Amino acid sequence: MSNPTVLINGAGIAGPSLAFWLNRAGYRVIVLELAPGIRPGGQTVDLRGTGRDVVERMGLLDQMRARALEQSGAAWVKSDGSRRAEMPVTAFGGNGLVSSLEILRGDLAAVLYEATRHDVDYRFGATITGLEQDENGVIATLANGTRLPVDLVVGADGPHSAVRRVAFGPEERFVRPLGGYHAWFSAPDTVGLDGWFLLYQAPGGLNASMRPSHDPAIAKAGLAFQAEPLDYDRHDIDEQRQMLVERFAGAGWHCDALLAAAADADDFYFDAFAQVHMSTWSAGRVTLVGDAGYCASPLSGMGTSLALVGAYVLAGELGPAEHLDTHRLSSALARYEEVMRPYVDRCQDLPRGVEGYAPMRESDIVITAAVMKWCQRWPFRSIAERKWFTTADSMALPDYR
């Protein structure tokens, strides 16, 4: 009997990570990605705690270190650029808001792809549109009409997962809006960041930010705002740019320059701050990993770790590539959920949500900066450490060797 085949939809962070482990365990792995190639975008993501442990077990930590960004820390600035508060990269033992090992999301995706592309069957510009399953397997129908018989289908296709929609139901049942929106894109570094992640908060629930990239002339910019759920077309980028102009034009600091950059950026990305909550991540021979099943939102800072750890645990529980009969599969998927659920719950527990990131009132902006400054000092330091900066370490990685 040939080794079982696993079909993964989505080649972001969770998809290639899962492909890495399943290929090692002897499975035949096919990865579909809607985009024409690995998507390069995104800001810096931190590799800390359990997520970093997974990367180390993959043997990829040195490659990540080689691509790491030199960072100085985070600072909250006023409109004139003067600083309300700073949290240097050394705060909380290198485990603060900006951690000691930060890498661009696009670099992380590229390293994971490079580590798997020779052994895994990647198909770009492809997606799943239909699934039919029985106790012997699943037939996945792709957008081009191809029908693929496989043993297991995994949705690793992000918060707007197509696999989740087909196998579990419409997005509205699982995606919980958090009351705001965010955009990311590259912009000229008009500030001279010198390794600093700068955050400018303005009354009305606005947050503009700039972070370093590999190119000192280019910043990774963010514009985020508080709002009740808005009715807009997710595929209409010009409409999204206009939504930003309506809120950020004349808002101070470098907002106008950032709006001009957003208008031209070819890596512009816009979405709602939202979480995915599901009572179960598996339905028969279909399961979910990463943002598709348990997105914690960028506000958590834990999306990458959840994807890396989720992929490791799912592959570990599936075990070696032996026949995936219904009983073996369902108990592996149940254990995956049992191991991951408490970690997911902790990562999704956001102390202040969008209000903390983009406060409405000037007084709250002042308080946020004061909290960020004082939480690094005695006697608040240990309380802050326990409450905010230990989630990443809060899971002991099972050993599947």
Q: Tokens at residue 225, please?
A: 């705002």
The nearest distance, CB 379 to ligand FAD, in angstroms, is 31
The nearest distance, CB 35 to ligand FAD, in angstroms, is 5
Q: Residue 53 interacts with ligand FAD (CB under 6 A)?
A: no
Q: CA 227, 264, 187 angle in degrees (round to 5)?
A: 75
Which of 6, 7, 8, 13 is close enough to bind ligand FAD by CB under 6 A? 13
Do residues 338 and 317 touch, judged by C-beta distance below 8 A? no
**By rule CB under 6 A, what string of x and - marks binding of each residue 261-280 to ligand FAD?**
--------x-----------
Q: CA 397, 349, 93 angle in degrees (round to 5)?
A: 60
Q: Residue 9 interacts with ligand FAD (CB under 6 A)?
A: yes
User: Which is nearest to 348 in space by CA: 283, 293, 271?
Assistant: 293
- From the list 87-95, 153-161, 188-196, 256-264, the region that binds ligand FAD by CB under 6 A is 153-161
The nearest distance, CB 396 to ligand FAD, in angstroms, is 21
- From the list 35-43, 134-142, 173-181, 367-375, the region that binds ligand FAD by CB under 6 A is 35-43
Q: Which is nearer to ligand FAD, 36 or 379 (CB)?
A: 36
**By rule CB under 6 A, what string of x and - marks binding of each residue 68-107 to ligand FAD?**
-------------------------------------x--
d(CA 386, CA 388): 6
The nearest distance, CB 197 to ligand FAD, in angstroms, is 12
- Positions 212 through 271 that interact with ligand FAD (CB under 6 A): 269
The nearest distance, CB 91 to ligand FAD, in angstroms, is 20
Which of 11, 25, 259, 309 is close enough to bind ligand FAD by CB under 6 A? 11
Question: What count of Cα atoms within 13 Å lies in the side-chain half-sphere of residue 390?
Answer: 9
Q: Residue 43 interacts with ligand FAD (CB under 6 A)?
A: yes
- Find the residue with minimal CB distance to ligand FAD: 12
Phi, psi (degrees; rounded to nearest 5) at 207: -140, 120
Which of 33, 46, 102, 189 is close enough to bind ligand FAD by CB under 6 A? 33
- Positions 168 through 197 that interact with ligand FAD (CB under 6 A): 184
d(CA 387, CA 194): 29
Alpha carbon distances (Å) from 207 to 125, 348, 356, 364: 34, 21, 10, 13
Report helix, strand or coil for 60: coil
Phi, psi (degrees; rounded to nearest 5) at 134: -140, -170
Do residues 183 and 270 touch, judged by C-beta distance below 8 A? yes
Which of 4, 7, 8, 12 is close enough to bind ligand FAD by CB under 6 A? 12
Q: Which is nearer to ligand FAD, 184 or 253 (CB)?
A: 184
Q: Residue 41 interacts with ligand FAD (CB under 6 A)?
A: yes
The nearest distance, CB 81 to ligand FAD, in angstroms, is 23
Residue position matching structure tokens 């482990």: 21
Do residues 307 and 344 touch, judged by C-beta distance below 8 A? no
Q: Residue 162 interacts with ligand FAD (CB under 6 A)?
A: yes
Residue 206 makes CB contacts below 8 A (sequence gap 6+) with: 223, 224, 225, 226, 247, 248, 251, 255, 358
d(CA 142, CA 121): 15
- Site residues (CB under 6 A) for ligand FAD? 9-15, 32-35, 39, 41-43, 45, 105, 127, 156-158, 162, 184, 269, 290-292, 298, 303-304, 307
